Structure 1
Amino acid sequence: MSDASRIKTALVKNSIPELRSMSRLRELQHNPLQFLSTLTQEYGDIVQIKLFFWPVVIINHPDYIKHVLQENYKNYDKNVPIFNLFRPILGNGLVTNYGGESWLRQRRLMQPAFHRQRLTTLGQLISTATLQQVQHWESKAREQQPVDVAEEMMQLTLNIVGQSLFSLDITSKTTTFGTAFSQANAFLLEYFNRPFPPLSVPTRRNRNFQKDIKSLNKVVYEIVQQRRNNQSQEEDLLSMLIEARDEETGEGMSDQQLRDEVMTLLIAGHETVANALAWSWYLLSQHPEVEQRLHNELDQVLAGRTPTLEDLPQLPYTRMVFEESMRLYPPVWIIMRKSLGEDTIGDYSIPANTYVAWSTYAMHRHPDFWEQPENFYPEHFTAEQVAKRPRHAYIPFSHGPRICIGNNFAMIEAQLVLATIAQRYHMKIVPGHPVEPNPLMTLSPRHGVLMNLYPR
């Protein structure tokens, strides 16, 4: 009996509901968000499917997710199709590293750059970069020219990451980098559904993908080389990476290692926040009562001045708006692990070498844990509501030892960007412009978010 057959047999013996319908499984390829959202309604909080040749257990309960991410995290690594798919772009950076000592060394090396004390120095940088980004909106607002706020947020957050983590102004490179990544991202999702021919075969599709990788690499290697040639010592993450030495050999990181880490930080550090902000602007435009309450808070607390880091504790509704946006449209919409050994999740036995996956998109809309699961309702994040809810019902940054290293940075950045722009502009979606989620590496708006700007 093959390994796959043994795994499948073991799972069936332990009575995990199994989805066998081929038509439903095809829905996973064509509409994965809808597919994952309906599984709980039909099968409960745990179900097994077959993804190509792989048995996969899909979970959708806070206790199950907590077990995998925190209680027995050492039994679950990232050697899974979802993360391996993006290795051509991210290499062996912090996000895609399987785990163990290699990942732990990477995490320990980078952690000081994200300490709260260091983040307090970045508030002014974020607000200034945001003001610079929206300066050219003034003429567009006067001339009633719409703006794609999804694209604008991509450029802004990429610039902020460049300055805050690498002390570099990469404004001139943001368009090239963003375009290349978007195209490579879309290609990989298509390739996941149709993995043929191999990437090594020089088809037109594969050549275009390799061209995008070269464009991304060019930006990253220029960042690394610029710092190597710079005699001044910046106290930032890039310096930490370049100066890092192996405890046993004394060797520093190779250019390939540096490339993987810088690429991971550039992409993970801007793509997730940018998409969450784009969804925030869209949701605010659809809910004028929420937008008005946000404006009222900003006007009362800031009285027209640019927000600072010190203002954030006095802007709770601003935070709630952003958290609710990430609930409905979590940037990382699906997560997967592989069991290294046998385990038990809830009352169900999980064999070794089993893929376990869960959708944050589906978990964040689970009717057992959210008062208004399908509605934009920032009151989900009042202190009282948060206290009543299981911690792992809301996991936009994952959780446990492998929680996103930049989660605090992302929250500070997003709140300052949201406050800085919302106190200056009221936005409305361009009539007829389609807005729908596109589940790539992150959950992005498929056609952007085209909006008309109205100065306040």
Structure 2
Amino acid sequence: MPVTYATVPSPTGATFESTLQGLRNYDPVSFVAELVDTYGDIVRLPFGTQDIYLLNHPDFIHDVFVNKSSYFAKRKDTNAEGNYLHQISGILPLFEGQLGTTYAPIMVDAALHTRNRWEAIYQEHGHLRVDIYKEVMRITLEIVFQTLFQADVQAEAGQIVDAILTMDVGYGFDPIAALINDLVPTTPVFLTPKAEAARSYMLKLMLELVQTQRANSGDSRSLLSWLLKQQVNGQAISDEQVANQALTIMFSMHEVTATTLSWAWYLLSQYPEVDARLHTELTRVLNGRTPSFEDLPNLPYTEMVLKEVRRLYPSVWSVGRFVRDDVSFGDYRVPSGSILLFSQRIMHRDRRYFPEPDRFDPMRWTKEAEGARPEYSYFPFSAGPRQCAGRDFAPTKDALVLATLAQQWQARLVPDQHLEPYPQKSFTPRYGIQMTLHPR
């Protein structure tokens, strides 16, 4: 007998236009959250000939990432999907064997540069007020340039931060745009003269690094070296193409940590008991010295703090996939050609798995508590063959940077700020986070 599937719930009166408006409006997170709250773990939204299906159950997420991953693609175009998977396969080996021996010391050194700068400013002025988002960006950019491109940009870090923030458009990762922009008419985006100059500066900087790498024969284990060896249709790609690809990868790799650490400082300032417990662990294990990769297994509470930050403020708030073949999720059937959308931000605050979901509580990440939840109720880096290339890199970087700085500094939030995650920009703090820093 043929299998009979249940009808996927769908909001009455929904149209292509209402779906598009909801996903492109000022607050697409609330739009998706309301649909999930109203209709449950799978919701169909009309989107022309390619309906969108919202998923919000760990079993369904497991199917997408692992059990039935061959049914789905991250890029609609087959060649683009192949190129994407090839790029991931090329990037992942860059981290193998280097995370502890080579990359971890670079991460600590970058944090120390900022710590020393903070100390100098505080000694001179007796106080220190910063946008913690910009401060963290400086650190992560230093790390990414040094590890992936073998380039020291400490002297230019502040200028690079300003350029990235000035660009505004074209910066960060908008998962909705990545999913649907090829399917609907788009409005051309025009850069302001300042933003155009900032982008030109970034491309020029990256092009100089590419040309230096090529002149040095490109034999190093760096991202640029790998990119320089790639071909398109049997032809070597140009330096300009490599620079553009490298710039895109740089944005995504640095942004994951910049977002996490910015919200970490904010949350620690709002939960003094968590901050105190974190500091106690850092003092007991490190006793004032700088951390190393070998210290990380002895800093479990630090790891728990960062996991909880990623639960509340995942760097990417949603994930999209194109459906290659008819596929089932439980009692429901999703036809080939459809689009899937599922949200870390919404799943991570699902009361079924995280009671009091808006509360910052690192104790959710004891082995016992974590083991009692479905595995895919939490997926900050996705999983399977299309997982984030920085899945191991980012947590190591986050822990070492936080341990280096939080030993000696405590952050307090400047009052009367409007703090808001920006879903179109990798869930970054839209207006920054102003904080005062105080020596411990």
TM-score (norm 2): 0.87
Kindly tell me: are residues 197 and 442 of structure 1, through their superposed partners in 2, closer, same or farther at Cα, counting changes over 3 Å? closer
Tell me, yes or no, if the aligned pair for 1:119 and 1:409 is still in contact at 8 Å.
no
1: CA distance, partners of 2:322 / 2:195: 28
Larger CA deviation: 123-132 vs 412-421: 123-132
Report matched runs for 1:183-332 at 5 Å.
Answer: 183-185=168-170, 198-199=187-188, 213-230=199-216, 233-243=219-229, 252-332=236-316
Q: CA deviation at 1:134?
A: 2.5
- Alignment of 1:41 onto 2:29: no
Query: Which position in structure 2 is the counterpart of 1:370?
Result: 354
Instruction: Tell which deviates more after alignment, 65-74 or 157-166.
Output: 65-74
Structure 1 residue 66 displacement after superposition: 1.3
Structure-2 residue corresponding to 1:121: 102
1:338 is paired with a residue whose SS is: strand
Matches within 5 A, 1:91-102: 98-100=80-82, 102=83
Q: Quote the residue 2:415 is aligned against.
A: 431
In structure 1, what is the Cα distance between the partners aligned to 2:186 and 2:341? 27
Worse overlay, 44-53 or 423-432: 44-53
Cα displacement (A) at 1:373: 1.5
Distance 1:146 1:397 in 2: 32
Amino acid of the structure 2 residue aligned with 1:35: F
Instruction: Work out whether residues 324 and 381 of structure 1, in 8 Å CA contact, stay in contact via their aligned partners in 2.
Output: yes
Q: Does 1:166 align with 2:149?
A: yes
- Determine the C-alpha separation between the residues in 2 that align with 1:58 and 1:178: 35
Q: Which segment is superposed worse, 208-217 or 123-132?
A: 208-217
Aligned-pair CA distance for 1:256: 4.8
Contact 2:315 2:426 (C-alpha < 8 Å) held by counterparts: yes
1:396 to 380, 383, 392: 380
Q: Distance in 1 between matches of 2:146 and 2:293?
A: 17
Moved more, 28-37 or 48-57: 48-57
TM-score with structure 1 setting the length = 0.84
Identical positions, percent? 35
Kept in 1: contact 2:52–2:340 (CA 8 A): yes
* AA aligned opposite 1:132: H
- Equivalent AA in structure 2 for residue 160 of structure 1: I
1:400-422 Cα shifts (integer Å, max 9, x gaps): 11111111111110000010110
Supply the AA of the counterpart residue of 2:118: W
The Cα shift of 1:432 comes to 1.3
The whole-number CA distance in structure 1 between the counterparts of 2:185 and 2:162 is: 24
CA contact (8 A) 1:159 1:169 kept: yes
Instruction: State whether residues 78 and 97 of structure 1, in contact with CA within 8 Å, keep that contact through their aligned partners in structure 2.
Output: no
- 1:64-114, CA deviations, whole angstroms, 9 ceiling, x for partnerless residues? 11111222222211236xxx9xxxxxxxxxxx98423x3343233222211
1:66 is aligned with what amino acid? H
In structure 1, distance between residues paired with 2:127 and 2:33: 38
- Distance in 1 of aligned mates of 2:172 and 2:402: 31
CA pair 232-110 structure 1, distance change in 2 beyond 3 A: closer
Distance in 2 (alpha carbons) for counterparts of 1:407 and 1:400 = 11
**Does the 8 A contact of 2:421 with 2:430 survive in 1?**
yes
The farther-off stretch of 165-174 and 405-414 is: 165-174
For 1:62-73, list aligned pairs within 5 A: 62-73=58-69
Secondary structure of the residue that 1:349 maps to in structure 2? Answer: strand
- 8 Å CA contact 2:218, 2:228 repeated in 1: no
Q: Which runs of 5+ in 2 are unaligned?
A: none
Instruction: Please name the residue that 2:93 is paired with.
Output: 112
Question: How many Å apart are 1:38 and its aligned residue?
Answer: 2.9
Is 1:148 the counterpart of 2:131? The answer is yes
Separation in structure 1 between the aligned mates of residue 173 and residue 345 of structure 2, nearest angstrom:
20
- Residues 47-78 of structure 1 show CA distances to partners (whole Å, capped at 9, x for unaligned) of 11235885211001111111112222222112
Moved more, 205-214 or 252-261: 205-214
Q: Which moved more, 1:280-289 or 1:19-28?
A: 19-28
Residues 296-317 of structure 1: CA distance to partner in whole angstroms, max 9, x if unpaired?
A: 0001110110111110000000
- The residue aligned with 1:8 is none
Confirm or deny: 8 A CA contact 1:185 1:441 kept in the other structure: no
Tell me, yes or no, if the aligned pair for 1:64 and 1:345 is still in contact at 8 Å.
yes
Query: Deviation string for 1:213-265 (max 9, x for gaps)?
Result: 4343222212211212336853333223334579x95x544335423431232
**Equivalent residues in 2 for 1:75-86 (5 A)?**
75-79=71-75
Native 8 Å contact 1:166 1:238 kept in 2: yes
Find the aligned partners of 1:242 and 1:361 in 2 and give their Cα distance.
36
CA deviation map 1:334-356 (0-9, x unaligned) = 11111122111221111111110
Q: Could you tell me how far apart the structure 1 residues matched to 2:10 and 2:186 are? A: 31
State the AA in 1 paired with 2:11.
L
CA distance in 1, matches of 2:339, 2:425: 18
* C-alpha spacing 1:118/1:241, structure 2 compared with 1 (3 Å): farther
**Residues 1:377 and 1:226: Cα distance change in structure 2 (over 3 Å):** same
Query: Which region of structure 1 is more displaced relative to structure 2, 279-288 or 15-24?
Result: 15-24
